[in-house]
């Protein structure tokens, strides 16, 4: 049984003080009504500047911390970049790789995503690899081909025992930040396709261990439907991860769906 994983991608939001306040509100929820987060893994991904403070704030709790990007080199003359070792040093155990905003605006390619995945795994960071099609691609019937190519590229050369640690986030680009989430059935279809692709790489046993999140306008009100699908193992959440009530609502809904599955 795969343990659902809910990750909050704060993007370019939250100062240190704001991030610590949000983390503290979530911890309060975790020790109360949401004890043990209903069997979900919970990861917060603040901007780089707030990682250390948020990691300190959640120390000793079930909340884990991740970054939103990383560079594949271990050190050197790469102005503006941050290495895996630096992220671990700051308190991260996870890192988001290949988010569509980074692919669209900051030059991430299938090749650089693969380098980042390998560097993260080699350093002991667990990657959340984002894949997903644009609206044009969906309307042209290319969703399956695009997502399959992204998954194959991201896992290229990653050995099975490391591949099993990766989380894939299926995020249709047209659903991100638009309030227009995918239907749960459509998301399930793509996620099942991703699992078939993973099965082709690693065999069905490893593929059945790899967790696949849905992302794109996830809210407390639609999470139960997504989490009820056979191949959806949690969510990567943007906007709704920025306040404790919505984010805990998403965790709660995931726990409810999981217990029914």
Catalytic residues: 99, 171
Residue 42 pairs in a beta bridge with 6, 63
Residues 6+ apart with CB under 8 A from 50: 10, 14, 15, 16, 18, 19, 20
Residue 222 is a binding residue for ligand PGA (CB under 6 A)? no
Closest distance to ligand PGA from the beta carbon of 77 (Å): 31
Residues 6+ apart with CB under 8 A from 99: 9, 68, 69, 108, 130, 171
Identify the DSSP state of 125: P
How far apart, in whole angstroms, are the C-alpha atoms of residue 245 and residue 26? 8
Which stretches within 124-233 are classed as H helix? 135-139, 143-154, 160-163, 184-202, 204-207, 220-227
Member of 218, 227, 253, 257 binding ligand PGA (CB under 6 A):
218
Closest distance to ligand PGA from the beta carbon of 241 (Å): 7
Segment 239 to 258, residues that bind ligand PGA, using CB under 6 A: 239-240
Closest CA to 181 of 217, 151, 211: 217
Closest distance to ligand PGA from the beta carbon of 103 (Å): 11
Segment 198 to 217, residues that bind ligand PGA, using CB under 6 A: 215-217
Member of 4, 9, 43, 125 binding ligand PGA (CB under 6 A):
9
* Binding pattern for the stretch 147-186 against ligand PGA, x by CB under 6 A and - elsewhere: ------------------------x----xx---------
Closest distance to ligand PGA from the beta carbon of 240 (Å): 6
Q: Which residues bind ligand PGA (CB under 6 A)?
A: 9, 171, 176-177, 215-218, 236-240
């Amino acid at each position: 049984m795969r343990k659902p994983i809910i990750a909050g991608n704060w993007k370019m939001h939250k100062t240190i003080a704001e991030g610590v306040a949000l983390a503290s509100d979530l911890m309060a929820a975790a020790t109360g009504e949401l004890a043990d987060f209903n069997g979900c893994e919970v990861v917060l991904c603040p901007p780089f500047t707030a990682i250390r403070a948020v990691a300190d704030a959640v120390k000793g709790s079930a909340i884990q911390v991740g970054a939103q990007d990383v560079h594949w080199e271990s050190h050197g003359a790469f102005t503006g970049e941050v290495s895996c070792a630096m992220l671990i040093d700051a308190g991260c155990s996870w890192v988001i790789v290949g988010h569509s905003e980074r692919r669209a605006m900051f030059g991430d390619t299938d090749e650089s995503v693969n380098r980042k995945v390998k560097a993260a795994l080699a350093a002991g960071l667990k990657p959340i690899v984002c894949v997903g099609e644009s609206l044009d691609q969906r309307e042209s019937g290319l969703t399956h081909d695009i997502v399959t190519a992204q998954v194959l590229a991201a896992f290229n050369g990653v050995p099975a025992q490391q591949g099993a640690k990766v989380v894939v986030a299926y995020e249709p680009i047209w659903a991100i930040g638009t309030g227009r989430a995918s239907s749960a059935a459509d998301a399930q279809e793509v996620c099942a396709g991703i699992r078939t692709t993973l099965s082709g790489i690693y065999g069905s046993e490893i593929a059945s261990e790899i967790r696949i999140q849905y992302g794109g306008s996830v809210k407390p009100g639609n999470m139960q439907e997504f989490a009820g699908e056979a191949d959806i193992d949690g969510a990567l959440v943007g906007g709704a991860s920025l306040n404790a009530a919505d984010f805990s609502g998403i965790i709660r809904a995931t726990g409810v769906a999981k217990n029914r599955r």
